[in-house]
Structure 1
Amino acid sequence: MSTRLDPNWAVLASWESADRFRCVDIFARPDGSFGFEEFRCDPEDMGAWTPVAYFSGATYATRADAEQAAERAVSWLADERSQG
């Protein structure tokens, strides 16, 4: 898990890109809010997932709101989810 994600946040869904070098996690916080973050995994990082942006700072009232925001913010995500 990235150090950007608080260990108290529960990951509810994780979607990987077709090349398996990117992923987006949707998570719930203890306060009832939701969020998301995009990560990359480069071979030279030995499998470690590294945050790509600071999306995890935004809060959403529902999981659906967080998912919709992730699809708008992460260019590859909507295509991957529609094929999945």
Structure 2
Amino acid sequence: MSKRIDKSWLVVESIENDEHNRCVDLFSRPDGTYGFEEFRRDPEDEGVWTPISYYSAVAYTSREMALAAARKNVAWLYERRQRT
């Protein structure tokens, strides 16, 4: 788990890109809010997911709102949605 996702937060969905080198984690917090963070995985990092953005500080009132914000802010996730 990333250093940017608090241990008390529960990842409810992890969405990877087609190349499996980027992902977005949607998570819930104990206070009932949701958030998301974007990660990358590179061979030189031995496959460890590394946070690449600072989205996790923002709180949303629902999972759906966090997902909509992720789709708006993460280019590859937005493009993936447009293809489906």
Same fold (TM over 0.5): yes
Question: Within the alignment, does 1:78 sit opposite 2:78 as a pair?
Answer: yes
SS at match of 2:65: helix
Q: 1:40 corresponds to which residue?
A: 40
Q: 1:12 corresponds to which residue?
A: 12
Alpha-carbon separation, structure 2, partners of 1:28 and 1:67: 12
Q: 1:29 corresponds to which residue?
A: 29
- TM-score using structure 1 length: 0.94
User: Alpha-carbon deviation of 1:78?
Assistant: 2.7
Show the 5 A alignment for 1:53-64.
53-64=53-64
Q: 1:52 corresponds to which residue?
A: 52
What root-mean-square deviation, in Å, do the aligned CA atoms of Structure 1 and Structure 2 show?
1.2
In structure 2, give the amino acid aligned to 1:9. W
User: Alpha-carbon deviation of 1:81?
Assistant: 4.3
- TM-score using structure 2 length: 0.94
- Structure 1 stretches of at least 4 aligned residues deviating more than 6 Å after TM superposition: none
- Give ranges in structure 1 of 5+ residues lacking alignment: none
In structure 1, give the amino acid aligned to 2:37. E
Percent identity between the aligned chains?
50
